[in-house]
Structure 1
């Protein structure tokens, strides 16, 4: 049986199954059906990034939802976390984001938020999937008419609401007057709101990636290519730079010397500060299996526990809720401050780091120096199918030999991308040359036995 949902909603090539208009309309109908639990008028918030296909998918999704008697509030381009916020702020029954995050423009996807601002529970996704894929779909028989049909509204003050929320996460009265920043919005969902937030706070901005044309989202810019920001920071003498990804839920920072600051370093900076302030809940931070071992060593030295989860913000959020801790994230720059928001937010993350810079009166490079990451090498291999690695004797043997060579001075992680036909090899250890050698060898073995 075909599977509709991946690790982060529905995603695929735009105008091809499952991101075809026919399927998307059925998804809208199914979503409307599963959220209609009470007699009041129901509503769904819909936002998107800047992909060309967003118009098509937004229209099909809205039509499906309205056809089931549920109202739609269209937000337009806004970061994914902005839609999560508006879902709760406007007391909607669900929020939907049309985005394929960091993928190229010709892909697109649909992510869902429940009325509490968290990702839609698994059981609701399963119900939607069953309704859409069923051969005799009984929701096709539900046809509201006359005044029972849903309406669609365009919301004009969405950006303003989100900006107020973001600024309220800072200490009262804090401004960024005189701070020089380079800001790359990846021609994505944050291209309007991010410059407005930082300029309203008084920062002097050099802007990049703020001219979306429907096809240039994530194209050699943003969080996937922070080198462009690093170069511009050095050229302009900026205090820092930040690069958002296409849907604005993650950020990679750059210090004043042009060095890349990833999610691990952000967790170290924020965790260390909160610990010193006595505000780090349960003295715990949540990372993933990809979090650098250097982060774990640093946190341990400062009396902070690191909980590791599988890769994916959903798992990080689940661990945060289960442990009662409030900060977690991934090296990719997806960081969650649960005491502020229900999901990762690139702009919010940058605001928290800048606030620490100002309160500590230290440049970003000095804040970053507290953590020394171990050498880490990750290689992506395009594959035919996702079979369990451990069922391939050659791969198992290669991994065992590599781990024996590393002994207890490093780690090996093999995993599949949740959104692409890609296997990822990660090797980490104290000896950079050995890490490089082992990662390349493992990639060759996987390429030989599983590659396209």
Structure 2
């Protein structure tokens, strides 16, 4: 059964729309209060809440809090903090629930709501369906609701102290580091951590004003990060998204390091140190086949799951694995955190640079990715893929031609009316030809909207 409010990572939409406005947030808060009462009837419950720098975050947090207050839920408000700091605070305060009000890498006109359970793990789909049912049972939000009641907490300090402890004081005193903070939730936390290590910092996207989050800065716009690294002679550049749960990294030559290359580096060196639990790294169906080859050559394996860091984290728990992530830069180190954390991932790559004495450019060249081409086709209708016999035949033909040296991924987007095509193979020419054959087959059976 499909969820109707929740997507792959919480609820997200344009602020002011029916699903992302104070009235809906109030009803959601009421529903979450009811949900907690169902879990442990008659007991007192607590929730940790934080947000990013979007102008709409304050109103949504106030409405959520007021709704939670209807069920006598105690709200610990952390203010503007990265999403992984919210997850950590759930454990620190032994809360029943964590709420991060953020739309991650989306523009400031959007906002969203991410939920964590008492383990600081993202909700599974069955839990989301239950919450949606409770939302639908709520009455319309009143024109006015009582002033929200909450307790302010300093989870930012706890989060910073925890990450500062992972490297020795002044261990980066000879380093120049460029940080792009996306005018988002990491604007205070990431610089504070690096300052303890003595690095000379060069900051981008560090002047949030409520509307400039992700506006030409951050993980979605890494070009200026690369330029700044070259201009400053930095050893590394790190860019966050709006809520700090993922990263993009640039090496000292100004080259953006692919997310799958980062995963492969972590997997290989963890395997060499005997530290990769279950000898498995968990990645999604989008990760490059080169990741599988890199782990196989190191004696490990890649376990693939559906799109979304929630799916990665869930499979990691099932396997007992401790490293996993998405090529987009959501990387999870479960020995240290329950969810993706861009700053933690940056720390772990810097730690490897220090341990090996190798610059990041040398580490990235130890991994070879397969040529990959993708195409997104906007379609009028999402006809079930198994009914597209011509496309299925084309997929089988491509897969037979590529054999074990390539792969094909064809799926509909979960959030947009698009068919997504992906092909990997041994040469770029073969990949381009294969993708073209899939596109032709898709166009023959689907109504494609060219814009």
Instruction: Tell me the TM-score normalized by structure 2.
Output: 0.91
**Does 2:346 match 1:337?**
no
**Does 2:227 match 1:231?**
yes
Aligned to 2:131: 128
CA distance in 1, matches of 2:395, 2:204: 42
Instruction: Rate the CA distance shift 1:308–1:74 in 2: closer, same or farther, 3 A.
Output: same
1:300-449 equivalences under 5 Å are 300-439=296-435, 442-443=438-439, 446=442, 449=446
**Does 2:159 match 1:162?**
yes
Pairwise CA distance, 1:424: 2.4
Pairwise CA distance, 1:439: 3.1
Q: Which of 269, 273, 278 pairs up with 1:277?
A: 273
Tell me how large the CA RMSD over aligned residues is. Answer: 2.5
Q: Residues 127-149 of structure 1, C-alpha deviation per residue, up to 9 Å, x if partnerless?
A: 21001123xx4899xxxx9xxx9
Pairwise CA distance, 1:385: 4.6
Q: Residues 402-434 of structure 1, C-alpha deviation per residue, up to 9 Å, x if partnerless?
A: 334434321111233344444322211111133
Structure 1 residue runs of 4+, over 6 Å off?
A: none
Pairwise CA distance, 1:237: 1.1
SS in 2 for 1:378: strand
Instruction: Rate the CA distance shift 1:35–1:55 in 2: closer, same or farther, 3 A.
Output: same
Aligned to 2:150: 152
| Farther off after superposition, 117-126 or 425-434 | 117-126
Question: Is 2:88–2:120's contact at 8 Å kept on the other side of the alignment?
Answer: yes
| Farther off after superposition, 83-92 or 192-201 | 192-201
CA distance in 2, matches of 1:383, 1:46: 38
| Farther off after superposition, 417-426 or 318-327 | 417-426
Question: Is 1:30–1:139's contact at 8 Å kept on the other side of the alignment?
Answer: no
**Does 2:198 match 1:202?**
yes
Structure 1 alignment gaps of length 5 or more: none
Question: Is 2:167–2:197's contact at 8 Å kept on the other side of the alignment?
Answer: no
Instruction: Rate the CA distance shift 1:423–1:79 in 2: closer, same or farther, 3 A.
Output: farther
Structure 2 alignment gaps of length 5 or more: none
Aligned to 1:41: 44
Q: Which of 60, 75, 94 pairs up with 1:91?
A: 94
CA distance in 1, matches of 2:313, 2:383: 27
Q: Residues 136-194 of structure 1, C-alpha deviation per residue, up to 9 Å, x if partnerless?
A: x4899xxxx9xxx9731232x221111012223x2555722121111111122212211
Instruction: Rate the CA distance shift 1:86–1:451 in 2: closer, same or farther, 3 A.
Output: farther
Q: Which of 43, 60, 64 pairs up with 1:61?
A: 64
SS in 1 for 2:151: strand
Q: Residues 35-66 of structure 1, C-alpha deviation per residue, up to 9 Å, x if partnerless?
A: 13154432211111122221221121111111
Aligned to 1:80: 83
Instruction: Rate the CA distance shift 1:382–1:394 in 2: closer, same or farther, 3 A.
Output: same
CA distance in 1, matches of 2:59, 2:208: 17
CA distance in 2, matches of 1:218, 1:167: 26
Instruction: Rate the CA distance shift 1:286–1:260 in 2: closer, same or farther, 3 A.
Output: same
SS in 2 for 1:87: helix
Q: Which of 256, 259, 267 pairs up with 1:260?
A: 256
Pairwise CA distance, 1:25: 0.9
CA distance in 1, matches of 2:260, 2:82: 22
| Farther off after superposition, 106-115 or 270-279 | 270-279
